[in-house]
Amino acid sequence: MARSAVSSLPRDGAPPLRQSLDEVRDGWLAAFRRVRAETEARAARLSPEDQIVQSMADASPTKWHRAHVTWFFETFLVKPHAPGYRIFDERFPFLFNSYYVAAGPRHARPQRGLITRPNGADVAAYRAHVDAAVERLIANVPPAEAARVFTILEIGLHHEQQHQELLLTDILHAFAQNPTDPAYDADWQMPRSSFGSRGFVEVPAGIHAIGHDGEGYCFDNETPRHDELIAPMRIARHLVSNGEWLEFIAADGYATPSLWLSDGWACAQAQGWQAPDYWRQIDGAWHAMTLAGFKPVDPAAPVLHVSYYEADAFARFAGKHLPSEAEWEVAARANVIAEGFGLAWQWTRSAYLPYPGYRAAEGALGEYNGKFMVNQMVLRGSSLATPQGHARMSYRNFFYPPSRWQFSGVRLAEFSA
Ligand SMILES: [Fe+2]
């Protein structure tokens, strides 16, 4: 496993119980600075021109990510909770609101790449203005309001970490459209895969609780914790590798309609899919666009950039299934799988639905997760681009079945005879 630490981020620098309020403030200040700095560190490898580009409607420019996460703190934290806060620029909320209808009108997502002004320096000044306001609020919030303020701050930190991952997946998509094959980081290397015996392992059958267990942070979609019945089944210890995917290609998997869901086949035909996203053949050898640029495909590494439709077709080709998200979580909690975190998000066969009893919060922040609970599939684990400390057993990522630009891979399951 490339990343063994699975914990909730702000707790790393933030307060255990029974600390003084000053110590609590110090903990949140450190967490805030750490997360904000990580965003800037990821963006710092990119030129101002790189930071403007939007290569498709689903992807956003780096500059937009840097501004949007700042808008989130301005809108939900300092504007309502910091007395006398001055909005940095009254035009920015329209540009940098993403999908929060209750927070006001917003610019069309597919046109984010057209916004050359405000420029990068303006966005840097916006970040500095909001950073200063957040830091003043952390230092000065009255004790009676501290719990509410730090709760929203914590959501903002985890939100920014989600955009740190998107910053990388979005720029990789942009670079993959560039005939010069730019490298985000020429020294980047795929995290080491886990070795050890491959094959399938038993998942403990019976009734198991899944969902967030109350330790540390979670998003609302990980609750309520509830029971799920796990039938006797086995799950792959490792992720599907590029080498195994090459066998699928060689066996005409992309040209065999009986392996595909109807919607998946239609999508694969319409898009002309013949391999995972970013793969191209050079003199008969498959290469792929990576964060380090265009590289030969490593047969031992986990396959990346496959859609739900491809994952499902591969599973049928292999005579297996995708695990449900409950099966995945029970297996992860039982510690029977390798490569759960830090390499590739793993498609599950579970639709992204509310857990029994789930209720979204009131107000604009209630739009964070709940309104997306239709037509998407759940991915579990975390990827090579997930920030340190952001992953956890109960985390529910979700994307539409055709999506391929995330670091999405495959883990198989089989039902016991
Ligand atoms: Fe966002």
Minimum mean pLDDT among 77-86, 191-200, 300-309, 362-371: which range? Answer: 191-200
Give the pLDDT mean for 346-362: 96
Over 50: is that where the pLDDT of 7 sits? no
Residue 196 is predicted with a pLDDT of 74
Q: How far apart are CA 202 and CA 151, in angstroms?
A: 39
Residue 110 is predicted with a pLDDT of 96
Residue 11 is predicted with a pLDDT of 47
Q: How far apart are CA 344 and CA 347, in angstroms?
A: 9
Over 80: is that where the pLDDT of 416 sits? no
Measured in angstroms, how far is the CA atom of residue 157 from the centroid of ligand 1? 11
Q: How far apart are CA 342 and CA 348, in angstroms?
A: 17
Please list the helix, strand and coil fractions of the chain in percent, rounded to the nearest 5, in that order: 40, 15, 45
Residue 222 is predicted with a pLDDT of 97
Measured in angstroms, how far is the CA atom of residue 162 from the centroid of ligand 1? 8
State the amino acid at position 417 in one-letter form: A
Measured in angstroms, how far is the CA atom of residue 251 from the centroid of ligand 1? 40
Over 90: is that where the pLDDT of 5 sits? no
Spell out the residues 6+ positions from residue 177 whose beta carbon is closer than 8 angstroms to its own.
55
Measured in angstroms, how far is the CA atom of residue 304 from the centroid of ligand 1? 24
Measured in angstroms, how far is the CA atom of residue 93 from the centroid of ligand 1? 13
Q: How large is the C-alpha radius of gyration of the chain?
A: 22
Give the pLDDT mean for 341-367: 94
Measured in angstroms, how far is the CA atom of residue 173 from the centroid of ligand 1? 18
**DSSP H or E stretch at residue 130:** helix 120-140
Measured in angstroms, how far is the CA atom of residue 288 from the centroid of ligand 1? 28
Give the pLDDT mean for 58-77: 98
Measured in angstroms, how far is the CA atom of residue 238 from the centroid of ligand 1? 31
Query: How does residue 417 score in pLDDT terms, banded at 50, 70 and 90?
Result: low
Q: Which tokens hold the place of 265?
A: 């086949």
Structure pTM?
0.94
Give the pLDDT mean for 233-246: 97
Q: Do 385 and 169 form a contact (C-beta atoms < 8 A)?
A: yes
Residue 8 is predicted with a pLDDT of 37
DSSP state of 282: E
Q: Do 392 and 412 form a contact (C-beta atoms < 8 A)?
A: no
Measured in angstroms, how far is the CA atom of residue 9 from the centroid of ligand 1? 17
Measured in angstroms, how far is the CA atom of residue 149 from the centroid of ligand 1? 19
Residue 12 is predicted with a pLDDT of 47
Measured in angstroms, how far is the CA atom of residue 73 from the centroid of ligand 1? 11
Give the pLDDT mean for 278-291: 97
Over 50: is that where the pLDDT of 60 sits? yes
Question: What Cα–Cα distance (Å) separates residue 38 from each residue in 125, 206, 342, 364?
Answer: 17, 42, 17, 26
Measured in angstroms, how far is the CA atom of residue 163 from the centroid of ligand 1? 7
Measured in angstroms, how far is the CA atom of residue 403 from the centroid of ligand 1? 18
Q: What is the mean pLDDT of the chain?
A: 94
Measured in angstroms, how far is the CA atom of residue 65 from the centroid of ligand 1? 8
Minimum mean pLDDT among 10-14, 23-27, 206-210, 284-288: which range? Answer: 10-14
Measured in angstroms, how far is the CA atom of residue 375 from the centroid of ligand 1? 20
Give the pLDDT mean for 247-255: 98
Q: How far is CA 88 from the centre of its chain?
A: 29
Give the pLDDT mean for 211-231: 96
Q: Do 88 and 126 form a contact (C-beta atoms < 8 A)?
A: yes
Q: Do 315 and 245 form a contact (C-beta atoms < 8 A)?
A: no
pLDDT in tens, 290-328: 999 999 999 999 999 999 999 999 999 999 999 999 999
Measured in angstroms, how far is the CA atom of residue 97 from the centroid of ligand 1? 8
Give the largest Cα separation in the chain, rounded.
67
Measured in angstroms, how far is the CA atom of residue 260 from the centroid of ligand 1? 33
Query: How does residue 399 score in pLDDT terms, banded at 50, 70 and 90?
Result: very high
Give the pLDDT mean for 235-253: 97
Residue 192 is predicted with a pLDDT of 86
Give the pLDDT mean for 126-155: 97
Measured in angstroms, how far is the CA atom of residue 161 from the centroid of ligand 1? 10
Over 50: is that where the pLDDT of 9 sits? no
Measured in angstroms, how far is the CA atom of residue 99 from the centroid of ligand 1? 8
Residue 198 is predicted with a pLDDT of 85
Over 80: is that where the pLDDT of 282 sits? yes
Q: How far apart are CA 62 and CA 174, in angstroms?
A: 11
Residue 135, φ and ψ in degrees, nearest 5: -65, -40
What percentage of the chain carries pLDDT values higher than 90? 89
Give the pLDDT mean for 40-64: 98
Measured in angstroms, how far is the CA atom of residue 70 from the centroid of ligand 1? 10
Measured in angstroms, how far is the CA atom of residue 75 from the centroid of ligand 1? 12
Question: What Cα–Cα distance (Å) separates residue 88 from each residue in 61, 95, 112, 124, 195?
Answer: 21, 13, 20, 12, 51
Measured in angstroms, how far is the CA atom of residue 68 from the centroid of ligand 1? 7
Measured in angstroms, how far is the CA atom of residue 69 from the centroid of ligand 1? 6
Measured in angstroms, how far is the CA atom of residue 168 from the centroid of ligand 1? 14
Measured in angstroms, how far is the CA atom of residue 110 from the centroid of ligand 1? 15
